[in-house]
Amino acid sequence: AQKVTQAQTEISVVEKEDVTLDCVYETRDTTYYLFWYKQPPSGELVFLIRRNSFDEQNEISGRYSWNFQKSTSSFNFTITASQVVDSAVYFCALSEEGGKLVFGKGTKLTVNP
């Protein structure tokens, strides 16, 4: 069965610190997709990234970067030089062929000025 674990329930950092959000997943499928979503205090869910199981290249988008390691079943998310606007709940999610989508319980990130 699919499972996504975000062990960090809450993280608090000071602005300009780097922070890494952990995501560990379980799946029996060889084809699957991993996602990160952001939920700011306003409540909407914002897509950040999608990665398929055959593409282990790390990705960087501005201050955001993602590290996908199949060997450890992890898909970690790093924010460099964090800003107050990064304060949000971040969700990691896993989708397999067949349509079922499983989310982690989320990590609440607070960036203090």
Partner 1 sequence: EAQVTQNPRYLITVTGKKLTVTCSQNMNHEYMSWYRQDPGLGLRQIYYSMNVEVTDKGDVPEGYKVSRKEKRNFPLILESPSPNQTSLYFCASSPGQGLGEQFFGPGTRLTVL
**Cβ neighbours, 10 Å, residue 12:** 12
- The distance of closest approach from Cβ of residue 98 to partner 1 in the complex, given in angstroms and rounded to an integer, is 8
From candidates 11, 15, 24, 103, binder to partner 1 by CB under 8 A:
103
Could you give the 3-state DSSP secondary structure of residue 85?
A: helix
Burial class (CB in 10 A: 0-12, 13-18, 19+), 23: buried
Least separation in angstroms between residue 86's CB and partner 1 is 19
Shortest Cβ distance from residue 22 to partner 1 (Å)?
Answer: 14
Does position 10 interact with partner 1 (CB under 8 A)? The reply is no
The interface region with partner 1, picked from 19-27, 31-39, 54-62, 64-72 by CB under 8 A, is 31-39
Residue 89 to residue 99: CA distance in whole angstroms? 24
User: Counting Cβ atoms within 10 Å, is residue 100 exposed (0-12), middle (13-18) or buried (19+)?
Assistant: exposed
Residues that bind partner 1 (CB under 8 A): 6, 9, 33, 35, 37, 43-45, 47, 50, 52, 91, 93, 95, 97, 99-106
